[in-house]
Amino acid sequence: MNCTKCGKKEVMIEKKHSGQRLCPECFISGIEQKVLKDIRKYDLIEKGDRVMVALSGGKDSVMLLDILTSLQDRGIIDMMAVTIDEGIHGYRKDGVKIAAEHAQRLGIEHRVVSFKEYFNISLDEIMALPSPRGACTYCGVFRRWLINRTAREMGATKIATGHNLDDETQSIMMNYLEGNIENLTRLGPRSHPKSDKFIVKIKPLGEIPEREVGLYVVAKGLKVHFDGCPYSRESFRAEIGEIIKNLSKKHPTIMYSTLRGFDKIKNALKKEHSRNFTMENCIKCGEPSAQELCRACVFCQELEKKKTR
Amino acid sequence: MEFTIINNKKTEQLSLKKNLTIKELLDEIEKPLETVVIKKNGHIVLEEEIINEGDTIEVIQIIYGG
Ligand code: SF4
Ligand SMILES: [Zn+2]
Ligand SMILES: [Zn+2]
């Protein structure tokens, strides 16, 4: 059986739920069109935006960079990139190198910023301290802080991240199962920050399944860092991810339906559950925060105590 | 029948009594299809593809953790 779209013999994917079989060219152009359509549908990008891509060098962010490049080439946006170096031995270095190569190839401004230089401690050093929290907790808080700070410094109007459909579905299920309804109200393809010091975040790949992201970069011959973070197994997210991936084998549309269902209840959730609070500036670092100290600064203080113990 | 497998950047020569499909090979080496992309002689192929004498099969792990 040949490509359902063009009839070519070389089929590389069969979409289980639609029965569509696609050759590399039709698969690639189909995905690109889908992402560009979602960008319009969810109003993710406006003409003149300065879009900073959070570029880890992994498949998701490299694919995102590749697709957004077409918007830059058409003069619709300006692009730049940031890579966060958390300080994870044996893992992050390759990603940073690949990210830098892509940025250089495309001629876009690229910055590498590390936990060590901003928070005076690497993730590995944090995890070697007595009774730390989960690695992903520090990692998430520090990374968000750094990405937002860097975006402001680089004059970005949008931050684009490579979250894919699997990530989004995991976030929905995780927050639901943990009863974090307020966090649920903040999910979605674009953020609506309460402070203008927070740059708007967009997720153009939010409806592309993770496996298709992998297929895309391999089919396009894009160089990416395929490797797992040594801390990822410890997380609740990984457990949920495993469950959803297993469910998807027999129920290939389950991630789409989870997302669609969430879309339907999201507005109602927002009305009932989003907290109204005013954002002040963190007294230590000046970033916006609902509390006196932002979470990054709270963690830094906590870590200082652990260090001197 | 003999073929070459590149798995995790390690190249090996395998010989089998009968022709396997990609899916049977993945079951054999315990790799879930959902986490990999398979190339046969440089082209991405489906799980039903049959491996023939002299083929080069590349297993590219695209999803880690979970
Ligand atoms: S898996 Fe956790 S620790 Fe590793 S990079 Fe992701 S958030 Fe950070
Ligand atoms: Zn085709
Ligand atoms: Zn702070």
Cα–Cα distance, A245 to A296 (Å, whole number): 32
Q: Is residue B23 part of a domain?
A: yes
Collect all residues with Cβ–Cβ distance below 8 Å to A130 and sequence separation of at least 6. A306, A309
Topology, domain A43-308: Rossmann fold (3.40.50)
What are the φ/ψ torsions at residue A213 (nearest 5 degrees)? -65, -45
Q: Which domain holds residue B12?
A: 2-61
- Which residues of chain A lie closer than 8 angstroms to B44, CB-CB? 12-13, 24, 215, 218-219
Q: Is residue B10 part of a domain?
A: yes
Residue A146 Cβ inside 6 Å of ligand 1? The answer reads no
Residue A127 Cβ inside 6 Å of ligand 1? The answer reads no
- Which residues of chain A lie closer than 8 angstroms to B43, CB-CB? 10, 12
Q: Is residue B43 part of a domain?
A: yes
Q: Is residue B20 part of a domain?
A: yes
- Is A105 within 8 Å of A69 (Cβ atoms)? no
Question: For ligand 1, atom 1, which residue shows the shortest CA distance?
Answer: A232
Collect all residues with Cβ–Cβ distance below 8 Å to A86 and sequence separation of at least 6. A92, A114, A115, A122, A123, A139, A142, A143
- pLDDT tens digits for chain A (309 residues)? 899 999 999 999 998 878 899 999 999 999 999 999 999 999 999 999 999 999 999 999 999 999 999 999 999 999 999 999 999 999 999 999 999 999 999 999 999 999 999 999 999 999 999 988 999 999 999 999 999 999 999 999 999 999 999 999 999 999 999 999 988 999 999 999 989 999 999 999 999 999 999 999 999 999 999 888 888 876 888 899 989 988 998 998 999 999 999 999 998 988 888 777 788 899 999 999 999 999 999 999 999 998 887
Domain count, chain B: 1
Cα–Cα distance, A286 to A288 (Å, whole number): 6
| CATH number of B27's domain | 3.10.20.30
CA angle A122, A126, A132 (to 5 degrees): 155
- Which residues of chain A lie closer than 8 angstroms to B8, CB-CB? none
Three-state DSSP class for A213?
helix
Query: For testing the chain A interface, which of B43, B48, B59, B62 should be mutated: the one with the most A CBs within 10 Å?
Result: B62
Q: Is residue B66 part of a domain?
A: no
List the strands of the sheet with A78-85, edge to edge. Answer: A109-114, A78-85, A50-54, A158-160, A200-202
Q: Is the pTM of this model over 0.90?
A: yes
Residue A62 Cβ inside 6 Å of ligand 1? The answer reads no
- Is A220 within 8 Å of A66 (Cβ atoms)? yes
* Domain spans in chain A, listed from the N-terminal domain onward: 1-41, 43-308
CA angle A142, A143, A147 (to 5 degrees): 120
